[in-house]
Structure 1
Amino acid sequence: MADYDDVFQASVDNPEAFWLKAAESIDWHVAPTRALDASNPPFYRWFPDGELNVCHNALDRHVEGGRGEQAALVYDSPVTGSQRTYTYAQLRDEVAVFAGVLAAQGVGRGDRVVIYMPMVPEAVVAMLACARIGAVHSVVFGGFAPKELAVRIDDAAPTVIVSASCGIEGQRVIAYKPLLDKAIELAEHKPSACVILQRPQAEAEMGPNDIDWATAAADATPADCVPVKATDPLYILYTSGTTGKPKGVVRDSGGHAVALNWSMPSVYAVGPGETIFTASDVGWVVGHSYIVYAPLLVGATSVLYEGKPVGTPDAGQFWRVVQEHKVKSLFTAPTAFRAIKKEDPRGEYAQKYDLSSLEYLFLAGERLDPETLRWAQELLEIPVIDHWWQTETGWPIVANPAGIELLPVKPGSPTVPLPGWDVQVLDAAGRPVEAGTDGAIVVKLPMPPGALPTLWNDDERFVSSYMSAFPGYYLTGDGGRIDAQGYVYVMGRTDDVINVAGHRLSTGGMEEVLASHPDVAECAVIGVADPMKGQIPRGFVVLKSGVERDGDELRAELVQLVREQIGAVASLKDVAVVAALPKTRSGKILRKTMRGIADGLDEPVPGTIENAAVLDDLRPVLRKS
């Protein structure tokens, strides 16, 4: 295979030829004759005259090609003490049946289906069943509270919602059905039906519009694959915005299939018959791309894991999975490895298992700190690869391309831009900066296949959020630099979206919840560095005049309020009552200054003279451990 420089240059010099060649590895109902429609920038479209079905490419073509008895999906659930393996033929058959269930409820091409499920194989079946009949799925992470789910229901307007009776978090069983019922009550849009998977850990009480999964599947007629245009949406995945309303990232069918199929052998060094264990959740983009679609598109075996890295039942679960399922590449977040390191600092659990199959560890979702990198390298003695990408991009922007050429590792950097991604760093005026200089990280347009073509029903917000700051470039929202060797360093978010254990969450959304409390006059939420989760939110509230409250009691109320309206995923546990917040002359709270102080930096005091006194009072609170 050509080296990295040659492959990257080919993708930049002639992207149409590069991606048309990559598209030959996909089955097409109508093969594309051109790669890119650039007639309406920044709304670029890939493979505009092509037609395909993504489910056929993920399942049927492998069965037809003689791989029907190979393992496609391995469900490993230490929290329930169970495992199940689905061959490609078995998974295809289950997906076809559930596609028939959806079709019987009136779901057709272009209709939306919201999926609110735990980490069970049926979540994958539901996603692929939507793809099979040309419907658009929108998976909502099971940790979200009813209000957050309701917002997504209203935006996607699903014909049907697919859910389960419960999820399992560690030792806790969480009933999903009451959360779903509350969300539907809050939402203006009402789905015609809900299909409920009953789990034995907690069965749900069914309502008049609820359909039992097993009963419906027993009577269903299997559905065939429906060809769709390459530019038709495959799914919507909501990501935190800087306002209360989440952004519905659209993923197209053709570009997504081509890019993910290309990325598996090129980035993750995983091909047909090999096993990847992606320890994420199907509610996040990592789960969409590298638990479900990419492994199945390339004909690999994917491990679907229900549980935590530690405590279910011990800190050796990842190593057990590697041994039992002969995992070649493991992909998780740095948070998971910090949790393992905390419980097992000498790596004693890893020594109990045969890890000889494991060739690569991939980490993403947040910045990989050098100490975690060092620990993992010494423990595993294999390449530990940091890489960087976003919900919006769908697959990695910057990585060490293990399947093309393994490059030297530099701590603090996720290595180099992947083929198709023209990454640059600009100053505030939109000018390229010199090597090693910090600025805004952007991607020159057009972005490669698989990246978002727009936001769901919101072209205007797509442009204002990503394309207007620097015309001709996609604004990633991250800041950093590129060194003289072309290595990219991603230093953090430039907006108020924080990254908690790989989950992007809006501090603005948390502030809206805190501000709704009757005793709170104003508030701020900032993300501060955390050795375990990368970042955690910290809240600061100013009480209304005349209000006197017990601090512990108020803190508990505020934490519970955020948990109810956003979900436990927000991880807001620290709320301090303060006398005042520092502000600019125009009244904007100085969150960046507060973050800097909290992270131990000697920040200058901008704004008014009054801020000096305010920050003097805040400094001990901000710098508490």
Structure 2
Amino acid sequence: MAYVKSREEYESLYKESIENPDVFWAEQARKYLSWEKEWDFVLQYDFNDARIEWFGEGVLNATYNCLDRHMDSIKDKIAYYWEGDNPAEERIVTYGELYAQVNKMAAVLKSKGIQKGDRVVIYMPMIVELAVAVLACARIGAIHSVIFGGFSAEALANRIQDCEAKMVITVDGGFRAGKSIPLKATVDTALKTCPGVEIVIVFNRAGLQLELDPNREIWWHEAIADTDLPDYVEPEPMNAEDPLFILYTSGSTGKPKGVVHTHGGYLLYTAITTRIVFDLKDDEIFWCTADIGWITGHSYCIYGPLINGFTSVLFEGVPSYPDFDRFWQIVAKYRVNKFYTAPTAIRALAKEGEAHVKKHDISSLKLLGTVGEPINPEAWRWYYHHIGRDWCPIVDTWWQTETGGHMITPLPAVTPIKPGSCSFPFFGVDPIILDESGEETKYPNQEGVLCIRRPWPGIARTLYGDHERFKETYFSQVPGMYFTGDGAKKDEDGYFWIIGRVDDVLNVSGHRLGTAEIESAIVLHEDVAEAAVVGYPHSIKGQGIYAFVTLNTGVSKTDVLKKELVLLVRREIGPIATIDVLQWADGLPKTRSGKIMRRILKKIAAGKTAELGDLSTIADPSVIEKLIKESTLAGESA
């Protein structure tokens, strides 16, 4: 039985969360979290100055909520099934074992001079020790900043400098798709320009037998073996509005933004969304495939599941290694019940066909989720049919690094699901779609920009060291509202549809076309794996439509197929959506979290290849060189 059992129950709870937010969220805060001291007020805010406070003067500790309070009840329950990049490597970690490891590492941090409010950068692969490092920081009130293990030395240095970190926690090396990745070497290069870092702790993951600098560096295993260190560290009492972590996200200007999340509101919001959106029961196995280096991993691999006392899978590897059945092999091995991944992974696996799925018994799955970008209906249907066996609900969650947790999402058992729609707002989220004149849209399917009218507990509080930029980015475009930067529409049934970033809306001969809509039409073709559409300057139309198309393995790139795709889009959307240029792309430029970097494709399409900007977040830069080389040939194509 679902927690929210019907549309009527959802609407009644939602109404209360909007009309009586103080009462609603106070009740949830008492239900989901343990407080050392209750708050003086639930919410005070001023969007014009981008000032937001939840649970003012309340006091709590994140790791007490994730670990200590479970020790009497679920000490022996499994917190994590860990699966290595190499299928032969696995680990089981109970709540009691995690508690012991976190206390020991917290003692190490304190012994090295780390204090409440100090910043600690964590640059590690998806191993249990990454979660331990995060929680050890939170236990003593240090602010963690996890940086995805695929970032370059330059990107790492920029982030270390921006948050003025005193310590870096890393590994000698990591493993990805069977290859060894020398993370410590990247840290060494980065630290040449980061004199503020006083100490580096190195976990021995790859057995590279490195020589450490005794003045500044220490092995993790040696640090925790110090017999003088206590086995228990008192959890630091933290104000609800004290920073919990900084997480960097790419800005449109190229300089990364250090998004700051605080204790009270963020912890409550991750806890409630984890339980309600995934309808997770205490005996179920949850797997969020995201890397902890991204907000999805913070919220739905660490804080949300642990606060609730759930069991999760942590996976170090990639979905394609050793073969394309790896996800389903893991689902079968641990009898995963609720599975949460990104559309880009679904498309990559769909491209290889369903034979990989059929090798494994995935009948344990009861619910599927997607995150990171709108899922095109064709990928949704593949996911629903082959993975969900035509009955698992799919929660297509829309949210952002800055929102802390799910904002608009279907709830299982509440409403019929529409492929590609994120459905309805979560409790306390008050969305509005504004047209170009700043008025609320009036008609079904009228497109506009998505804004949020009031704060929810998981909202970010500032950008580290730059509140002015925070205010300017999120609260100045539409005074009195949070500006999401995403385009959206609401259909005749009130369902929300995300069109893509506002700058991913094309204006072709005066008509507004969402790139996601055109991409969805292209991937309807059975030979197409993935498509990315951008606008480019067109002398007649203002903007022309430029499509980069990746074909399924083994499909020939022919002019006949190009014509088929052009006709398919015309048929699905109309002649206004005629593709002007179609370029075959063996690969698309993606960030390491799998997002397509459309700003780079725009530059290629416009012929401005000298202005590509910062490429430090690209997973495979060689993809760009190939696209540039072939772009000159594409001009005559469609």
Match of 1:272 in 2: 282
Matched, 1:119 2:126: yes
Matched, 1:262 2:272: yes
Alignment equivalent of 1:334, drawn from 334, 339, 343:
343
Does structure 2 conserve the Cα–Cα contact (< 8 Å) formed by 1:58 and 1:296? yes
Match of 2:398 in 1: 388
Residues 534 and 124 (structure 1), Cα distance of their counterparts in 2 relative to 1, 3 Å cut: closer
Alignment equivalent of 2:496, drawn from 473, 488, 500:
488
Match of 2:325 in 1: 316
Matched, 1:226 2:250: no
Matched, 1:61 2:69: yes
Match of 1:374 in 2: 381
**2: CA distance between counterparts of 1:474 and 1:60?**
36
Aligned pairs, how many?
A: 541
Q: Secondary structure, in 3 states, of the residue corresponding to 1:349?
A: helix
Match of 2:619 in 1: 568
Measured against aligned partners, the alpha-carbon deviations of 1:405-460 in whole angstroms (never above 9, x if no partner) come to 43211122111111111111112332111232111111112x21011011112110
Task: Name structure 1 gaps, 5 residues minimum.
Answer: 501-525, 545-554, 579-597, 599-617
**2: CA distance between counterparts of 1:624 and 1:574?**
20
Residues 543 and 19 (structure 1), Cα distance of their counterparts in 2 relative to 1, 3 Å cut: closer
Match of 2:559 in 1: none
Paired AA for residue 481 in structure 2: Y
Q: Secondary structure, in 3 states, of the residue corresponding to 2:439?
A: coil
Match of 1:552 in 2: none
Match of 2:143 in 1: 136
Paired AA for residue 621 in structure 1: A
Matched, 1:6 2:19: no
Residues 96 and 408 (structure 1), Cα distance of their counterparts in 2 relative to 1, 3 Å cut: same
1:374 deviation in Å?
0.9
**2: CA distance between counterparts of 1:146 and 1:129?**
25
**What is the 5 A alignment of 1:423-572?**
423-434=431-442, 435-445=444-454, 447-495=455-503, 535-536=596-597, 537-538=600-601, 539-540=603-604, 565-568=616-619, 572=623
Residues 102 and 472 (structure 1), Cα distance of their counterparts in 2 relative to 1, 3 Å cut: same
Alignment equivalent of 2:166, drawn from 127, 136, 159:
159
**2: CA distance between counterparts of 1:482 and 1:574?**
39
1:244 deviation in Å?
2.5
Q: Secondary structure, in 3 states, of the residue corresponding to 1:148?
A: helix
Q: Which moved more, 1:318-327 or 1:532-541?
A: 532-541
Tell me the TM-score normalised to structure 2 length: 0.80
Task: Name structure 2 gaps, 5 residues minimum.
Answer: 506-514, 520-545, 552-587, 589-593
**1: CA distance between counterparts of 2:290 and 2:238?**
29
Q: Secondary structure, in 3 states, of the residue corresponding to 1:155?
A: helix
Taking only aligned residues, the RMSD between alpha carbons, in angstroms, comes to 2.9
Alignment equivalent of 2:258, drawn from 241, 248, 259:
248
1:38 deviation in Å?
2.5
Tell me the TM-score normalised to structure 1 length: 0.81
**1: CA distance between counterparts of 2:606 and 2:37?**
61
Residues 266 and 577 (structure 1), Cα distance of their counterparts in 2 relative to 1, 3 Å cut: closer
1:190 deviation in Å?
2.3
Residues 128 and 624 (structure 1), Cα distance of their counterparts in 2 relative to 1, 3 Å cut: farther
**2: CA distance between counterparts of 1:321 and 1:428?**
47
Does structure 1 conserve the Cα–Cα contact (< 8 Å) formed by 2:106 and 2:139? yes
1:202 deviation in Å?
2.8
**1: CA distance between counterparts of 2:98 and 2:607?**
56
Match of 2:24 in 1: 18
Does structure 1 conserve the Cα–Cα contact (< 8 Å) formed by 2:372 and 2:595? no
Alignment equivalent of 1:74, drawn from 74, 81, 91:
81
Identity, % of aligned pairs?
A: 35
Does structure 2 conserve the Cα–Cα contact (< 8 Å) formed by 1:271 and 1:299? no
Does structure 1 conserve the Cα–Cα contact (< 8 Å) formed by 2:122 and 2:170? yes
Measured against aligned partners, the alpha-carbon deviations of 1:199-240 in whole angstroms (never above 9, x if no partner) come to 235343312311110000111323221110010011000000
Alignment equivalent of 2:186, drawn from 140, 154, 179:
179
Q: Secondary structure, in 3 states, of the residue corresponding to 1:291?
A: helix
Paired AA for residue 416 in structure 1: F
Residues 569 and 205 (structure 1), Cα distance of their counterparts in 2 relative to 1, 3 Å cut: farther
Match of 2:312 in 1: 302
1:574 deviation in Å?
4.0
Q: Secondary structure, in 3 states, of the residue corresponding to 2:99?
A: helix
1:577 deviation in Å?
6.2
Paired AA for residue 16 in structure 2: A
**1: CA distance between counterparts of 2:595 and 2:358?**
27
**2: CA distance between counterparts of 1:441 and 1:240?**
20
Measured against aligned partners, the alpha-carbon deviations of 1:26-67 in whole angstroms (never above 9, x if no partner) come to 100102242102267531110012100010100111113x10
Paired AA for residue 29 in structure 2: A
**2: CA distance between counterparts of 1:569 and 1:45?**
41
